[in-house]
Structures are given as structure tokens and as C-alpha cells.
Amino acid sequence: MVRRGRRMLYRIVVRSELSDTYAVAFEGMEMETKGGVTILTGKIIDQPHLHGILDRINGLGLQLLNVEALPDDANIIPGVSNRGPKGSEL
């Protein structure tokens, strides 16, 4: 859940390795492609911002695989989930 007035860190995963051309569509998000998926990681300011990104994903015809709110103290390593054993791959 995104709290009003406070940015939260999110990791959003879509099927397909997107080219750098798509980076403009997800401005402000880090984008990494790996193993047939693209991982978008970044700060989301509120619910409308999150829904805007999800609408963009849908509008581009991408398959949404995962949306994850990360803890404030998350050590972000692209492509690695913070759930499960340390270092487990997404």
C-alpha cells in the first residue's frame, strides 16, 4: 500500500525483455532485463502514480508478473527478490 505523502519503493516485474526505448515510458524507474523478464524498481509517490504505471504496462500489452512493495531499508539488487533466502533469484 502506498501511503499518502510518502514515497515507497516498489519492484514491478513484467514478462519480456524490454529495450531501452521503453525507459521513457517508465521514467524515474530503474529498468533491468534478465532471463525473459524486465524488472522496474523505483519510488512510487501515491496510489494514482502506481496505477498510472500499471495502466502503462497494460497499454503496452505487457504481461504483469509481480508487484512488490519493498521495505524502507531494502538493499536493492536488481533481479533479486527480498523474499526468501538471501540471494534468491526472482
What are the pLDDT tens digits along the chain (90 aa)?
555 556 799 999 999 999 999 999 999 999 999 999 999 999 999 999 999 999 999 999 999 999 999 987 666 555 444 443 333 344
For the chain, give every domain's residue range.
8-69
Closest among 70, 32, 67, 33 to 50, alpha carbons compared:
67
pLDDT of residue 46: 93
Which residues are bridge partners to 9 per DSSP?
43
Using DSSP, state whether 21 is helix, strand or coil. Answer: helix
Question: Do 12 and 53 form a contact (C-beta atoms < 8 A)?
Answer: yes
What is the pLDDT at residue 4? 53
Quick one: pLDDT at residue 86? 36
What CATH number matches the domain at 8-69, 3.40.50.1820, 1.10.3720.10, 3.30.70.1140, 3.30.70.1560? 3.30.70.1560
Using CA atoms, how far apart are residues 21 and 8, in angstroms rounded to an integer? Answer: 25
DSSP 49-87: HHHHHHHHHHHTTPEEEEEEEPPTT----TTB-SSSSTT
